[in-house]
Structure 1
Amino acid sequence: MPYLTRLQTMSIQTLQPPSTTTDPYQFLKIQHNHNDTLTRNLEDPHTLPSSDTTLPISVLTKDITINNSNQTWLRLFLPKNTTFSNKNNKFLPLIVFFHGGGFILLSAASTRFHNFCVEMAETVEAVVASVEYRLAPEHRLPAAYDDAMEALSLIRTSEDEWLTKYVDYSKCFLMGNSAGASIAYHAGLRVVENVKDLEPLKIQGLILHQPFFGGIQRTESEVRLENDPVFPLCVSDMMWELALPIGVDRDHEYSNLIVGNDIDEKFEKIKDQGWKVLVSMNGGDLLVDRNKELVKLMKEKGVDVVVDYQEGGFHGIEFFEASITKNFILRVLELN
């Protein structure tokens, strides 16, 4: 996901790479406080939900609570034409979406994610459930991963009519961008261990856009794009430092693809379940080599992986170039 608000008003080509002495906290306009909280000053416009069918909107939206104590909730996106044309009991696929932000920033209510989910729901003709999960460092990992599972449990048991009346529970996909893609991935690893626990909800696949993974050993793309103007390496490192449990490094299983998690066994189970996995990446994103590693590991275990690779670009490009967003959503449409 993009972090520089000034990118909204100037061309990416005009930006100068940050120096190697860039302060990642200043870069993101945040302050790390002594009590392990953040003061967040990054501009982040929010959009309120609306389920008013008289308004000229294509997708209806509303929020439902997951956990009051944790202040977590779902934002549901329902194509409006579905509410008027469901006489034949047409049920729609469900996409459970997790927003990006390096585990430390932004919200399901952030306008950039709200609009993205609107377009996803309308184009794919699916119900989208965007998860408001707890942020680090106030709630370090695995809090976000736990919230993902609690969201799925809520969806499975909810009596909300947008879910019970319009969703085909046998066609559910877990989706995210950046850190949200990592949340979707880790939720998938948990789900595949006990798929029956989620019935009647049945996961059909993962949709991972520029997933955020880390490790102590630098990849070629991390070295090459260390001073990337949109997502420099120092920002990536700082996000992991704030998101991971205190006292562990980026080689922890919450971050590093090849550490823990019994991934060989779990990838075998993903294959056996017949899940499809879409991994979308850009050559100009410092995370691209770790994304390629994920694809390689999954393919070695026979997982049905669809790769959406674009030369160039940058992290979060879909929020600045409409054509990229449309092309990505069309790839998602192919999975259904």
Structure 2
Amino acid sequence: MPESTQDNINNPDVSSVPTRFPYVPATPEPSPQNPVVSKDITVNRSKSTWMRLYVPTAALNGGVSSEKLPLVVYYHGGGFATGSVDFYPHHDFCNLMARELNAVFASPSYRLAPVNRLPAAYDDGVDAPAVFADLSPLRIRGMILHQPFFGGEERCESETNVNFPHILSDACWHFCLPVGANRDHEYSNPTVGDGPKQMEKIGRLGRNWKVVVIGRERHRLIDRHRDVAKLMKDQGVDVTEHFTDGDVHGAELVNQGETTLACIRSIIYSSSP
């Protein structure tokens, strides 16, 4: 590994992970060339968290929504240490999903490691839907795990059989987990500790609460995705697995396959009241 990378990982005083991502502004004005409008709103001023909302213009009538649309809260990726709501692949992905699925997408920010280690991002993720507390009736009907980032001390088979440096994911966990914790902490490995009990709680929500796990067949974390899906099924959770061919992490942000779109569409509308 490059010496500078190792120095950063071993340096407890490192306060940020440098990023050079292209960012894009919201597009609040509807137009024929803009099939989705987006707007930025504040979530928590003290934590500097915010959210970008996406609404398909076809659902607007004189500035007022003419129909009830599903609401999807989308949390961007980045290993809890990088990325942003306005990073252009995340923005374009939400634009595409809102348009193709005819749904409102909400993309909240969250505090990043190493300045804010977990559970800061998880806490911010839980806080974000409170923005919609005045909407009634509003119920959470399911969860989409889109190439979720899991870890563990023992390497699973898919992690050892593909050409992807462990240093990348290991560094993210090193930066974001509580100081002194390893990758078998509950924040990174939901199959250990109280993980099964937490899955059982989801299972008790019944058949009206659905989960879909989306991954890539040759992705280095595919075995972890399968393990978590199996654990949830064993605890009574209604789980759909959707694994497509490929090994590139985040490929759907650039080229969303029709089968994945159909899977997400099915889970959204089958969960609608």
| TM-score normalised according to structure 2 size | 0.89
> Alignment partner of 1:203: what SS?
coil
Which of 163, 167, 170 pairs up with 1:237? 170
Partner deviation per Cα, 1:193-229 (whole Å, 9 max, x = no partner): xxxxxxx43111110111111111110111112x32x
Which of 236, 239, 263 pairs up with 1:305? 239
Query: 1:211 matched to which residue of 2?
Result: 148
TM-fit CA distance, 1:25: 3.5
Structure 1 residues 222 and 24, CA gap change in structure 2 (3 angstroms): farther
Alignment of 1:3-82 (within 5 A): 21=1, 25=5, 35-40=13-18, 42-54=19-31, 56-82=33-59
Which of 55, 75, 79 pairs up with 1:102? 79
Amino acid at match of 2:140: I
Query: 1:223 matched to which residue of 2?
Result: 160
Alignment of 1:157-168 (within 5 A): 157=134, 164=135
Amino acid at match of 1:134: R
TM-fit CA distance, 1:318: 1.2
The whole-number CA distance in structure 1 between the counterparts of 2:65 and 2:75 is 31
Amino acid at match of 1:292: R
The whole-number CA distance in structure 1 between the counterparts of 2:202 and 2:17 is 39
Partner deviation per Cα, 1:158-215 (whole Å, 9 max, x = no partner): xxxxxx5xxxx6xxxxxxxxxxxxxxxxxxxxxxxxxxxxxx4311111011111111
Query: 1:9 matched to which residue of 2?
Result: none
> Alignment partner of 2:60: what SS?
helix
Structure 1 residues 249 and 278, CA gap change in structure 2 (3 angstroms): same
Contact 2:40/2:52 (8 A) holds in 1: yes
> Alignment partner of 1:245: what SS?
coil
Query: 1:120 matched to which residue of 2?
Result: 97
> Alignment partner of 1:122: what SS?
helix
Q: Does 1:291 align with 2:263?
A: no
TM-fit CA distance, 1:56: 2.1
Structure 1 residues 272 and 63, CA gap change in structure 2 (3 angstroms): same
The whole-number CA distance in structure 2 between the counterparts of 1:239 and 1:24 is 15
> Alignment partner of 1:257: what SS?
coil
Alignment of 1:173-322 (within 5 A): 200-225=137-162, 227-228=163-164, 232-260=165-193, 262-273=194-205, 274=207, 275-320=209-254, 322=255
TM-fit CA distance, 1:267: 2.4
Contact 1:24/1:235 (8 A) holds in 2: no
> Alignment partner of 2:178: what SS?
coil
The whole-number CA distance in structure 1 between the counterparts of 2:36 and 2:211 is 26
The whole-number CA distance in structure 2 between the counterparts of 1:80 and 1:272 is 37
Contact 1:78/1:121 (8 A) holds in 2: yes
Amino acid at match of 1:285: H
Query: 1:190 matched to which residue of 2?
Result: none
The whole-number CA distance in structure 2 between the counterparts of 1:94 and 1:32 is 41
Partner deviation per Cα, 1:25-53 (whole Å, 9 max, x = no partner): 49xxx89866331141x331111002112
Amino acid at match of 1:110: F
Contact 2:26/2:40 (8 A) holds in 1: yes
Contact 2:51/2:109 (8 A) holds in 1: yes
Amino acid at match of 1:140: R
Structure 1 residues 60 and 219, CA gap change in structure 2 (3 angstroms): same
Amino acid at match of 1:265: K
> Alignment partner of 2:105: what SS?
strand
Structure 2 alignment gaps of length 5 or more: none
Amino acid at match of 1:239: C
Structure 1 residues 39 and 314, CA gap change in structure 2 (3 angstroms): closer
Contact 2:9/2:171 (8 A) holds in 1: no
Structure 1 residues 298 and 84, CA gap change in structure 2 (3 angstroms): same
Contact 1:214/1:256 (8 A) holds in 2: yes
TM-fit CA distance, 1:69: 1.5
| TM-score normalised according to structure 1 size | 0.73
The whole-number CA distance in structure 1 between the counterparts of 2:85 and 2:58 is 23
Structure 1 alignment gaps of length 5 or more: 1-20, 158-163, 170-199
Count of residue correspondences: 265
TM-fit CA distance, 1:281: 1.1
